[in-house]
Amino acid sequence: MAVIGWIGLGHMGGPMTANLVKAGHSVRGFDLNAEALDAAVAAGVTRATSIQDAVDGTDVVFTMLPKGEHARAVYFGEAGVFAHADPKTLLVESSTIDIESSQALHDAAKAAGFRLVDAPVSGGITGAEAGTLTFMIGGEADAVADATTYIQPMAAHIIPTGGATTGQAAKICNNLMLFINLAATSEGAVLADRLGLDPQVFWDIASVSSGDSWALRTWYPVAGVVPSAAVNRDFSPTFTAELANKDIGLAIAAAEATDTPLEIGKHVAELFQRLVDQGQGGKDCSMIVKLVDGTLA
């Protein structure tokens, strides 16, 4: 079994490390949030007091962080991963971040003699808890193959995507489609209600018809229809509106950099920005249904 360093023990990192511990790995974790670190320790993770402590003597280091700026801060600088990990340690960057930051990490890793893969995930908190995430892995073939062996206890699907940053590219495009689907699901649900359809009956139809999507099956924004949906818990987040706003913003930025028009994506981004502007950034992203039904302006 491996010695694994882990930095970032939030909503995703916490349950992901718990599954590594269950698989028999020794996991040393660090997070600036004391509550998140305590929860991980309770699940069997060994407490690290710093990045240096987390990476010292490890076979592989995973990072799971909110934004590109956080990933850069963790890897670069005198206190960072590059300064303190052994170059033989495999680095697995699983945050969802911008392409520019991902490329910067790959370039710096190569210059310092490290192997690094970008390996973002899809599946949300429920997938992290169940160990059924999809990993999209970009990087050199040998590093991707080695990363796969460590990832297995956390994943149902592990898909090599190509060279550096292609994992991030896949995740950005996937999430763009997810949020467009969520917006369409919200509009369809509200319209179906106003046309007199029973919510369960309409969902039963849509989930086996051409309107089906992961968002409909998992996040359907009408109470009492899909047990996993945040609407049943006053939009307590499985994926916050703030993070959704960040992720779709990554797609908009990538589109601008590649001269790709995203007319629908830009509209959905505006919806998430409206939620954030109204102080709802900490609620679940499926709360955009409240913009559709007029509960929020």
Active centre residues (catalytic) = 171
The identity of residue 238, as a single letter, is T
Q: With CA atoms as reference, report the closest residue to 176 among 215, 212, 211, 209.
A: 215
- Which residues make beta-bridge pairs with 91? 61, 116
Calculate ∠ Cα 62-64-66, nearest 5°.
155
- Which residues make beta-bridge pairs with 143? none
Calculate ∠ Cα 18-102-13, nearest 5°.
10
Q: With CA atoms as reference, report the closest residue to 119 among 142, 100, 96, 98.
A: 96
251 within 8 A of 259, measured Cβ to Cβ: no
Question: Could you tell me which residues come within 8 angstroms of residue 69 by beta carbon, excluding any fewer than 6 positions away?
Answer: 101
